[in-house]
Chain A
């Protein structure tokens, strides 16, 4: 895949996350989990979202699934 194509797919994936996420669930979570989930929706980067908020990666992944945030392999 060319890098230009990748960037297009990246934007599609971001839109998909925004559309599919359960925002009610995300807003109901305590901090810093709420922020981590919002960052995850925007970036799609589990490691980055977990690290910047101090949440273990695997715990954030469990929360991601409950919050219905899809991650897309491009």
Chain B
């Protein structure tokens, strides 16, 4: 099993999911850029992350100047693109780190997922959202049930188009 980079909002959402620990059936460890970790200050997400850090299942990535430079370039390229949705600075950093370390990025924001298709600097980076992970974790009726539970627990929905892609 490999490591994955994770962004703030994704982790906050998964911290609310009743089977949040199942994510470690796919990834052995998650890497949070330190720039992102400082954004999580209270509540269930912080305790979830702290517990996993103690268990060494979540690692904090130090801020690296090469990644900073790449993140700034990605931020500029995506935000100046005529059609791509905008990207926030921490998410640009997470995407840059994923590129730098050649690891997948876990995020529910569509901007990185679309950017890797059109921006040369990040082509080839694997970007997974919650629905993709749920599909990897669960099959058949169990998948259907877990998607429902995920929506109940997190109040995160999936577009009809995306659900149809997975036969839901």
Q: Is the interface of A mostly helix, strand, loop or mixed?
A: helix
Number of A-B residue pairs with CB-CB distance less than 8 Å in the complex they form: 85
* Interface range for B: 20 to 34
Contact of A72 with B158 in the complex, beta carbons under 8 Å: yes
Residues of A within 8 A of B131 (CB): 73
Q: How many residues of chain A have a CB within 8 Å of chain B?
A: 32
Q: Mark B20-51, 1 if CB is under 8 A from A, else 0.
A: 00000000000000000001111101100000
Contact of A74 with B110 in the complex, beta carbons under 8 Å: yes
25 A-B pairs within 8 Å (CB atoms) are namely: A1-B114, A4-B83, A6-B110, A6-B114, A7-B83, A9-B159, A9-B161, A10-B85, A13-B159, A47-B9, A47-B88, A48-B88, A50-B39, A58-B42, A58-B45, A59-B41, A59-B43, A61-B45, A68-B155, A69-B155, A71-B155, A71-B156, A73-B110, A73-B129, A73-B162
Q: Smallest Cβ distance from B36 to chain A, in angstroms?
A: 9
Residues of B within 8 A of A65 (CB): 155
Q: Which of A10, A56, A73 contacts B156 (CB 8 A)?
A: A73
Q: Identify the B interface with A (CB < 8 A).
A: 8-9, 12-13, 39-43, 45-46, 83-85, 88, 90-91, 108, 110, 114, 118, 129-131, 155-159, 161-162
Residues of A within 8 A of B156 (CB): 70-73
Residue A23 at the B interface, CB < 8 A?
A: no
